[in-house]
Amino acid sequence: MRIDGNTIKLLRIPFSFFLLPLFLFAYSQADTVVHRQALFAFLIIHLLIYPASNGYNSYVDRDEDSVGGLEKPPMPTVALFYLTIFLDFLAIVLALLFVNTLFAGCLVLYIAASRAYSSRQIRLKKYPVIGFLTVVTFQGAFTYYMSIAGISGNALLITREHVYVLLGCSFQIAGAYPLTQIYQHKQDLKDGVKTLSYKLGYKGTFGFTAVMFLLCNVFYYLYFTSKGLGMIFYIIQAFFLPIVVYFGYWFSLVLKENTAANFRNTMRMNWIAAICMNSCFLVLIIINRIPLSYISAIETAVPENRYSHESLAAFYIKSTDDLTNKRKIKVVAGKTGIESRYSVISDFDKEPEDFAFFNKTPTLLPEPTLTQRMQLYQQHATLLSRKAIEKIKDFETLKTKLTHLITVTCTGLFAPGLDVELVRDLGLNPYIQRSSVNFMGCNAAIIALKNADAICRSQPNAKVLVVCTELCTIHFQKQYNDDYLLSNLIFGDGSAAVLVTSEASDAYAHKVEIDAFNSLILHNGYADMAWQLSETGFIMNLSSYVPDLIRKNIKPMLSKTGLSPDQFKHWAVHPGGKRIVDDFADALELDKCHLASAYNVLKNYGNMSSPTVLFVLKEVLEKAKPENVGNRIFTAAFGPGLSIETMQLRYV
Instruction: Note the pLDDT tens digit of each residue in 280-335.
Output: 999 998 887 677 899 999 999 999 999 999 999 999 999 999 999 999 999 999 99
Q: How far apart are the first and last CA of the chain?
A: 56
Domains delineated in the chain: 5-289 (1.10.600), 294-651 (3.40.47.10)
Cβ neighbors of 219 (< 8 A, separation 6 or more) are 164, 165, 167, 168, 171
Tell me whether residue 159 is exposed, middle or buried, using C-beta atoms within 10 angstroms of its C-beta: 0 to 12, 13 to 18, 19 or more: exposed
Q: In this structure, what DSSP letter does residue 259 have?
A: G
* Segment holding 438, helix H or strand E: strand 433-438
Q: Give mean pLDDT, residues 361-380.
A: 93
Let me know: does 170 contact 133? Beta carbons within 8 Å: no
Write down how long the chain is.
Answer: 652
What are phi and psi for residue 411, nearest 5 degrees? -110, 0
- Residue 59 makes CB contacts below 8 A (sequence gap 6+) with 10, 76, 80, 81, 84
How many Å apart are CA 418 and CA 416, to the nearest integer? 7
149 versus 286: which is more confidently predicted?
Answer: 149
**Which of the listed ranges 8-12, 369-373, 387-391, 475-479 does the model predict with the highest average pLDDT?**
387-391
Report the sign of the C-alpha dihedral through residues 273, 276, 281, 282, in that order.
positive
At 494 the three-state DSSP class reads: strand
Instruction: Report the candidate in 348, 335, 336, 338 with the shortest Cα–Cα distance to residue 307.
Output: 348
Are 193 and 125 within 8 A, CB to CB? yes
Q: Are 404 and 465 in contact (CB under 8 A)?
A: yes
pLDDT tens digit sequence for 501-520:
988 888 888 889 999 999 99
Q: How far apart are CA 640 and CA 443, in angstroms?
A: 8
Which of these ranges, 134-143, 193-202, 346-355, has the smallest mean pLDDT? 193-202
pLDDT above 70 (res 565): yes
Confidence of residue 37 (pLDDT cuts 50, 70, 90): very high
* Rounded Cα gap, residues 322 and 482, in angstroms: 15
Residue 434 phi, psi dihedral angles, 5° rounding: -120, 150
449-463 pLDDT, tens digit per residue, is 999 999 998 887 899
Q: How far apart are CA 462 and CA 501, in angstroms?
A: 6
Q: Find the helix or strand (DSSP H, E) in which 375 lies.
A: helix 370-389
Contact 605, 616 (CB under 8 A): no
Distance CA 270, CA 68 (A): 9
Q: Contact, 74 vs 10, CB < 8 A?
A: yes
Q: Is the pLDDT of residue 1 over 60?
A: no
* Confidence grade of residue 544 (pLDDT, cut at 50, 70, 90): low
What are the helix (H) ranges across 227-308?
A: 230-256, 263-289
Given a contact cutoff of 8 angstroms between Cβ atoms, the answer to whether 54 and 15 are in contact is yes
Count of alpha carbons within 13 Å of 338, Cβ hemisphere only?
Answer: 31
Average pLDDT over residues 522-527: 68
> With the CA atoms of 421, 422, 426 and 427 taken in that order, what torsion angle do they form, in degrees rounded to the nearest 10?
-70
